[in-house]
């Protein structure tokens, strides 16, 4: 028999202290984005979200009242702050999650396999809904989360509304996707002594830049690392950076020598609108398109 680890023993005792849990009469089997088959309740009542995107989508579906736990990074909408936090994502407190007695845990791209395995050992249903590399996958994630939390009709309605908004607000004659003649754009994920990181062509962020009318200078890159030499050589027309990082970025060498910085074409954007795969991505497209068009 495989030995029980001290951590697993502690967690099992913690779960047992709460006594028998009420059983949901009807269950469903879903296959998550990691190919895992998970038996979940069809009408969960206590959900812990381990992803800011999942939390935001649940609120958009009218399912925020099901949340009994979230991460420190689940900051939108503001009402999410009222939900108890289980801490960070990279250093998840399994004990804290178990103490919330969830009947469903929904995670995202940043949760480790170790954490997933621990939840499986404890018998807590955990489903992974990860970010996908294209914009349209946002709709699939909304539908998947709607199914998980018993809000399928609401998910269908939200997806239809988002499609309609894209068709009406983004498909105008002056909103053609980025072309070789489009303004060159660089999105700042990380910068400074630790290295330069951006969104490559295999990301939904690349799609957002194209939909806004720009051309991502890192579109040929897979992954997130980008060389400073390439950034200086490309010398983009526009730079997108999180608003809270904007002042630091434009004052730091050698970034302050880039054309976009010198011409005032650094666009500060609200965190979560571009770096998470959420309905607010459409707001990001419209905002970026407006800023680039009015600057030319």
Residues 26 and 148 in one domain: yes
Number of domains in the chain: 2
Domain boundary among 162, 185, 207: 162
Cα(282)–Cα(288) distance, rounded to whole angstroms? 10
| pLDDT digit string (tens) for the chain, length 296 residues | 444 555 555 555 555 555 555 554 488 999 999 898 999 999 999 999 999 999 999 999 999 999 999 999 999 999 999 999 999 988 888 999 999 999 999 999 888 888 888 888 898 999 999 999 999 999 999 999 999 999 999 999 999 999 999 999 887 545 456 666 899 999 999 999 999 999 999 999 999 999 999 999 999 998 899 999 999 999 999 999 999 999 999 999 999 999 999 999 999 999 999 999 999 999 999 999 999 999 86
Residue 243 in any domain: the answer is: yes
Residues 24 and 135 in one domain: yes
Residues 19 and 145 in one domain: yes
Residues 237 and 277 in one domain: yes
Residue 71 in any domain: the answer is: yes
Residues 65 and 142 in one domain: yes
CATH number, domain of 39, equals: 3.40.50.1980
Residues 188 and 131 in one domain: no
Judge if pTM exceeds 0.85.
yes
Domain boundary among 102, 134, 162: 162
pLDDT digit string, tens, across residues 91-114: 888 999 999 999 999 999 888 888
**Domain containing residue 263:** 175-295
Domain boundary among 132, 162, 192: 162
| Spatial contact of 187 and 216, defined as CB atoms under 8 Å apart | yes
What phi-psi label fits residue 273: left (phi over 0), alpha (psi between -120 and 50 degrees) or beta?
A: alpha
């Amino acid at each position: 028999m495989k030995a029980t680890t001290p951590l697993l023993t502690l967690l099992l005792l913690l779960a047992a202290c709460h006594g028998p849990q009420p059983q949901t009469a009807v269950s469903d089997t879903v296959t998550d984005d990691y190919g895992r088959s998970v038996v979940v309740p069809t009408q969960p009542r206590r959900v812990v979200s381990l992803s800011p995107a999942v939390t935001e989508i649940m609120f958009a579906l009218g399912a925020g009242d099901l949340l009994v736990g979230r991460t420190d990074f689940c900051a939108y909408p503001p009402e999410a702050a009222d939900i108890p936090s289980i801490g960070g994502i990279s250093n998840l407190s399994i004990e804290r999650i178990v103490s919330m007695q969830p009947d469903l845990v929904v995670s995202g791209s940043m949760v480790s396999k170790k954490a997933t395995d621990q939840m499986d050992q404890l018998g807590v249903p955990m489903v992974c809904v990860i970010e996908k590399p294209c914009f349209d996958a946002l709709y699939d994630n909304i539908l998947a989360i709607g199914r998980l939390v018993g809000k399928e009709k609401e998910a269908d309605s939200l997806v239809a509304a988002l499609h309609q908004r894209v068709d009406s607000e983004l498909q105008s004659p002056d909103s053609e996707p980025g072309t070789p003649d489009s303004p060159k754009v660089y999105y700042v994920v990380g910068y400074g002594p630790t290295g330069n990181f951006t969104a490559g062509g295999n990301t939904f962020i690349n799609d957002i830049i194209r939909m806004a009318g720009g051309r991502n200078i890192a579109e040929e890159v897979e992954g997130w690392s980008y060389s400073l030499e390439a950034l200086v050589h490309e010398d983009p027309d526009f730079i997108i950076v999180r608003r809270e990082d904007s002042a630091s970025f434009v004052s730091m060498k050698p970034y302050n020598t880039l054309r976009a910085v010198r011409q005032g074409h650094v666009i500060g954007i609200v965190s979560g609108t571009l770096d998470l795969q959420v309905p607010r991505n459409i707001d990001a497209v419209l905002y970026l398109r407006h800023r680039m068009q009015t600057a030319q």
